[in-house]
């Protein structure tokens, strides 16, 4: 069965995850729109480089590149989780869960700024998980501040991850005001340099326009139909089962793992809350929830004892995704 196979740490699962990823996006390959115009970066970058990257990609190429990028992200995240031993034993369930989540909605299967930002989000998680045992993290937090700023130039709502840096310091570290200031310095450095470039080119007005989303009113609608909500239901059930399994393992886990799971919870909350930085809500925004939720699901499917329950649940998840892609 699928879950039992990916509980093993074997190279063949690299192929298996890739096949699953391809299978979960077949629906869009068979129902390709005539033209998909990818938007990979915010205007802050577009205005500087003067052209849109990926504009000439055909629809099939767009989806195929997206598949390759999500596979890279899945194995990158899986490597981090196995490195910190969050699941108790190395396996490929994190990669499998990530590929499942990024295939839930058709808009997830094309190039978008949140998709690109997931590389940065996963990279950040690897660095944040490592601060627990480090003696001095000021330089690391400065780098993370710069990373968040770069991510916000790709997708502006990613700016909210600055709060995740400070939350990580609360969770993992005793209070040190220097460690709290350094992320802000790193973040400001990127925007200062960007402002200088805009000033030199006589376009400082365009630089100020970058921050217009901070004044947006709260969006009031999300373009989802009832079928989109139905796809989420099996995932919500799996997360409920995760909470029951976590209850049994939480205090048996090492402190680092417990703190990391708390950090992931705040990452999900911040991502959900940052939708207001868009002038309208797009489903692609919620791609940023995929890394932490994939880790939660991988923990459940690794530690669940009832084989028929977890195998049946995962079958329902993939069956629901595939059904609504085709129908």
CA atoms within 13 A on the CB side of 265: 11
Q: Is 326 exposed, middle or buried (0-12, 13-18, 19+ CB in 10 A)?
A: exposed
pLDDT in tens, 5-17: 999 999 999 999 9
Helix, strand and coil in the chain, % to nearest 5: 75, 0, 25
| Rg (the chain; Cα; Å) | 20
Chain centroid to CA 95: how far?
Answer: 12
Neighbours of 260 (CB within 10 A): 24
Q: Are 286 and 271 in contact (CB under 8 A)?
A: yes
Q: Considering the entire predicted model, what is its pTM?
A: 0.92
| CA neighbor of 294 nearest in space, from 146, 92, 137, 30 | 92
Q: Are 74 and 17 in contact (CB under 8 A)?
A: yes
Q: Are 232 and 105 in contact (CB under 8 A)?
A: no
Query: Euclidean distance between the first and final Cα of the chain, in Å?
Result: 26
Give the relative orientation of helices 12-24 and 307-326 as an angle to the nearest 10 degrees: 40
pLDDT in tens, the chain (327 residues): 899 999 999 999 999 999 999 998 887 777 666 566 666 666 666 666 655 665 667 777 888 889 999 999 999 999 999 999 898 889 999 999 999 999 998 888 888 889 999 999 999 999 999 998 788 899 999 999 999 999 998 888 899 999 999 999 999 998 888 999 999 999 999 999 998 988 888 888 878 877 777 766 655 455 556 666 788 999 999 999 999 888 887 766 677 788 999 999 999 999 988 776 666 667 888 899 999 999 999 999 999 988 889 999 999 999 999 888 776
pLDDT in tens, 229-247: 788 999 999 999 999 888 8
- pLDDT the model gives residue 150: 93
CA distance 51 to 42: 12
Question: Which residues have C-beta within 8 Å of that of residue 225, sequence separation ≥ 6?
Answer: none
């Amino acid at each position: 069965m699928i879950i039992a196979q990916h509980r093993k740490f074997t190279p063949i699962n690299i192929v298996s995850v890739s096949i699953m990823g391809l299978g979960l996006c077949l629906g869009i390959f068979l129902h390709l729109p005539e033209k998909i115009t990818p938007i990979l970066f915010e205007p802050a970058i577009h205005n500087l480089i003067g052209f849109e990257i990926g504009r000439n990609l055909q629809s099939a190429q767009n989806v195929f590149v997206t598949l390759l990028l999500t596979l890279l992200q899945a194995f990158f995240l899986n490597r981090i989780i196995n490195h910190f031993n969050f699941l108790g034993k190395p396996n490929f369930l994190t990669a499998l869960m990530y590929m499942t989540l990024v295939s839930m909605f058709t808009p997830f299967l094309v190039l978008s700024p949140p998709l690109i930002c997931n590389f940065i989000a996963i990279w950040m998680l690897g660095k944040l998980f490592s601060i627990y045992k480090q003696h001095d993290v000021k330089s690391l937090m400065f780098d993370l501040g710069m990373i968040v700023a770069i991510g916000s130039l790709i997708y502006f709502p990613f700016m909210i991850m600055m709060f995740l840096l400070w939350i990580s310091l609360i969770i993992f570290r005793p209070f040190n005001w220097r460690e709290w200031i350094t992320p802000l310095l790193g973040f400001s450095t990127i925007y200062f340099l960007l402002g200088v470039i805009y000033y030199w080119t006589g376009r400082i007005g365009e630089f100020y326009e970058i921050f217009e989303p901070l004044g947006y009113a709260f969006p009031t609608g999300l373009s989802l139909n009832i079928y989109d909500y139905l796809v989420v239901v099996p995932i919500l059930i799996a997360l409920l089962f995760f909470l029951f399994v976590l209850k049994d393992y939480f205090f048996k886990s090492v402190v680092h793992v417990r703190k990391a799971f708390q950090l992931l919870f705040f990452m999900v909350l911040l991502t959900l809350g940052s939708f207001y930085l868009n002038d309208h809500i797009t489903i692609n925004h919620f791609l940023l929830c995929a890394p932490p939720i994939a880790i939660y699901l991988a923990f459940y499917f690794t530690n669940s004892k009832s084989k028929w329950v977890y195998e049946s649940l995962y079958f329902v998840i993939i069956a629901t995704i595939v059904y609504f892609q085709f129908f």
